[in-house]
């Protein structure tokens, strides 16, 4: 009896001793919480008739294939020049748009058509560490709430495969929409760190205005839009060459002519393009609705023909994201921070936004307006500064106004945790960003814009040298500003800008 008792005791002791070891085998002690990149719009491919011989990639479409769909438009455009018959042109254009994008349309409740399916994402390696990011993509069309459920599943899978209890995340552009919906559904218990990079957290004006039919083409905006992208090109020299070419086309009146043609197209065809293509394709697409800022939201429902009767389920879904997620960002992020999650927001500014809507004056990263990506910064219009008598709106004990007086960050929801990168093109990063994000990811403490001398709240992007500089104050002289810019970043494009500015000033002086 004593022997049996001893044996049982021995088994218990061994079991108690061994079990924690077995459990410990599953959890990783490397100290490097896995990182998940919550990717941007277009990260998940969308297929028609997947797995059949007719399979076709609807998004992102093969460029050559898509151009093929639009071949008839070229002939029709040539005819338009002589006939000025816009309706005939529309008869060719609109079916082409519908052929290319029509199958992306959702049903009246905002669900995909059964023949249209999406790529699935699962972690496929247990390797993790500061230099590796898991990649989460999704179908941009669907309700962000549905994508948040998939993100939750993905996070669970990453935790399982790596043996960690928590993850670190970086969300880019629409990834931020998905992540905010995740916060609403699941809280931030599993999240150590979240970096929002150029995310339309409160929407983007281009969606708000298109969903209200506010189309407008502005020549100067068009020119700036083209030129803003050039410094991010692989070749600085080629970028400078294109810059000069665009300036010459502008000086020669060619752009004016093009905008005139485009204006005529808008005047004559806008209603048809909206009624026959854009509204049928986009009106019931919850993913794109998530980009509509609050000031455009309710009127957009009227314009897009979304009403409570026919679209009751859809309206409930759209309202849930809009009011419980987008308009609850302050509550959600403050809750995440007080639960111990480090929250970082990065917004670009001084880039020309999409030049085809009335809000072309908003400073942005080219796609998302700075005021929406930063959750509430007060911003001067593109190319302008805050008025000379402008005073910081909040928190007057600390300076939140950018050295170039383009941004007042004091009105942001999280002013201490929001960085502004001047001349950062939407979700276009380089080694300098990687290094910055690495520091944010590695910090156990929530860092602020005052903690790191080399990463202040306002940073000048340098795509040529892949780094950041201090933002320099502006003077009243365009020539002085161009000179200071060329001295700070001596790239071909900045030197070209300096030369062109010099000749412009010289010409103005001659004429004046
Ligand atoms: Zn590990």
| Cα–Cα distance, 218 to 204 (Å, whole number) | 18
The Cα 477–Cα 463 span in angstroms is 25
Q: How far is the CA of 437 from the centre of ligand 1 (A)?
A: 19
Which tokens sit at 144? Answer: 């962000």
CA of 504 to the centre of ligand 1 (A): 58
Domain layout of the chain by residue ranges:
46-117+224-323, 125-205+326-477, 478-512
- Class of residue 38 by CB neighbours under 10 A (exposed 0-12, middle 13-18, buried 19+): buried
Could you tell me if 441 and 448 are in contact, meaning their C-beta atoms sit under 8 angstroms apart?
Answer: no
- Whole-number Å distance, alpha carbon 418 to ligand 1 midpoint, is 29
Q: Find the 445 Cα to ligand 1 centroid distance in Å.
A: 19
> Is residue 22 predicted with pLDDT exceeding 50?
no
Size of the chain, expressed as the number of residues it contains: 512
The pairing of beta strand 35-38 with beta strand 458-462: unpaired
Tell me what percent of the residues of the chain surpass a pLDDT of 90.
76
- pLDDT at position 481, please? 95
CA–centroid distance, residue 157 to ligand 1 (Å): 14
pLDDT tens digits, 410-448 = 999 999 999 999 999 999 999 999 999 999 999 999 999
CA 198 to centroid of ligand 1, rounded, Å: 29
Are 162 and 34 spatial neighbours (Cβ–Cβ below 8 Å)? Answer: yes
The Cα–Cα gap between 406 and 376 comes to: 14
178, 200 Cβ separation under 8 angstroms: no
Output the average pLDDT for the chain.
92
Q: Cα separation of 406 and 380, whole Å? A: 5
Residue 352 sits at φ, ψ, to 5 deg, of -70, 130
Q: How far is the CA of 467 from the centre of ligand 1 (A)?
A: 30
| CA separation for the pair 464, 390 (Å, rounded) | 34
Distance 165 CA to ligand 1 centre (A): 10
Q: How far is 19 from 14, CA to CA, in rounded Å?
A: 8
**Is the pTM value of this prediction over 0.85?**
yes
pLDDT tens-digit readout, 195-238: 999 999 999 999 999 999 999 888 989 899 988 888 888 888 98
Over residues 341-365, the pLDDT tens digits come to 999 999 999 999 988 888 999 999 9
Which of 61-65, 153-157, 212-216 is least confident? 61-65
21 pLDDT tier (thresholds 50, 70, 90): very low
Q: What separation in Å is there between the alpha carbon of 27 and the centre of ligand 1?
A: 8
Q: Which residue has the tokens 């390797």?
A: 127
pLDDT tens string 170-196: 999 999 999 999 999 999 999 999 999
pLDDT, position 512: 75
**Can you give the pLDDT at residue 81?**
86
Calculate the alpha carbon distances from 438 to 35, 365, 455 in Å: 10, 22, 12
What pLDDT score does 5 carry?
A: 62
Residues forming beta bridges with residue 364, ordered by sequence position: 351, 369
Residues with CB under 5 A from ligand 1 (ion): 28, 30
pLDDT tier for residue 261 given thresholds of 50, 70 and 90: confident
Rounded Cα distance, 428 and 7, in Å: 66
pLDDT recorded at residue 15 = 56
Rounded distance from Cα 193 to ligand 1 centre (Å) = 16
């Amino acid at each position: 009896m004593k022997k049996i008792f001893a044996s049982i005791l021995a088994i218990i002791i061994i079991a108690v001793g061994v079990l924690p070891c077995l459990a410990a085998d599953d959890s990783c002690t490397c100290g490097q919480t896995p990182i998940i990149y919550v990717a941007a719009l277009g990260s998940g491919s969308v297929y028609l008739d997947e797995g059949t011989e007719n399979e076709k990639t609807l998004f992102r479409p093969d460029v050559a294939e898509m151009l093929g769909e639009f071949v008839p438009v070229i002939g029709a455009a040539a005819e338009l020049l002589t006939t000025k018959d816009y309706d005939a042109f529309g008869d060719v254009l609109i079916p082409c748009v519908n052929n290319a994008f029509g199958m992306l349309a959702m049903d009246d409740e905002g669900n995909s058509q059964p023949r249209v399916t999406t790529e699935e994402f699962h972690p496929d390696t247990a390797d993790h560490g500061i230099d590796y990011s898991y990649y989460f993509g999704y179908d941009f069309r669907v309700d962000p709430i549905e994508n948040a459920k998939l993100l939750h599943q993905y996070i669970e899978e990453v935790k399982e495969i790596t043996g960690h209890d928590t993850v670190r995340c970086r969300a880019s552009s629409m990834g931020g929409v998905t992540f905010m919906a995740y916060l609403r559904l699941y809280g931030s218990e599993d999240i150590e760190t979240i970096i929002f990079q150029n995310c339309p957290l409160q929407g983007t004006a281009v969606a708000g205005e298109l969903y209200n039919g506010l189309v407008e083409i502005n020549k100067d905006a068009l020119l700036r839009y083209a030129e803003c992208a050039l410094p991010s090109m692989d070749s600085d020299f080629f970028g400078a060459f294109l810059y000069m070419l665009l300036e010459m086309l502008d000086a020669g009146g060619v752009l004016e002519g093009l905008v005139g043609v485009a204006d005529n197209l808008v005047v004559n065809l806008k209603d048809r393009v909206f009624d026959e293509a854009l509204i049928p394709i986009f009106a019931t697409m919850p993913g794109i609705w998530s980009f509509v800022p609050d000031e455009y939201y309710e009127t957009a429902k009227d314009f897009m023909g979304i009403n409570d009767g026919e679209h009751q389920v859809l309206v409930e879904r759209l309202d849930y994201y809009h009011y419980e997620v987008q308009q609850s960002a302050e509550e959600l992020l403050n809750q995440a921070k007080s639960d111990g999650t480090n929250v970082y927001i990065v917004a670009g500014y001084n880039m020309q936004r999409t030049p085809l809507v009335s809000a072309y004056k908003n400073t942005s990263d080219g796609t998302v307006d700075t005021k929406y990506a930063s959750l509430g910064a007060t911003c001067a219009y593109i190319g302008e500064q805050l008025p000379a008598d402008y005073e910081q709106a909040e928190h007057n004990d600390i300076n939140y106004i950018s050295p170039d007086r383009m941004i007042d960050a004091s009105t942001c929801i999280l002013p201490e945790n929001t960085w502004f990168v001047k001349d950062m093109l939407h979700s276009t990063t380089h080694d300098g960003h990687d290094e910055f994000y690495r520091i944010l990811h590695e910090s156990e403490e929530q860092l602020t814009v005052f903690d790191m001398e080399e990463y202040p709240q306002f940073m000048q992007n340098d795509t040529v040298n892949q780094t950041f500089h201090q933002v320099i104050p502006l003077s009243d002289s365009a020539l002085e500003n161009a000179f200071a810019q060329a001295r700070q970043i001596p790239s071909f494009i900045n030197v070209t800008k300096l030369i062109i500015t010099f000749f412009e000033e010289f010409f103005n002086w001659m004429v004046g």
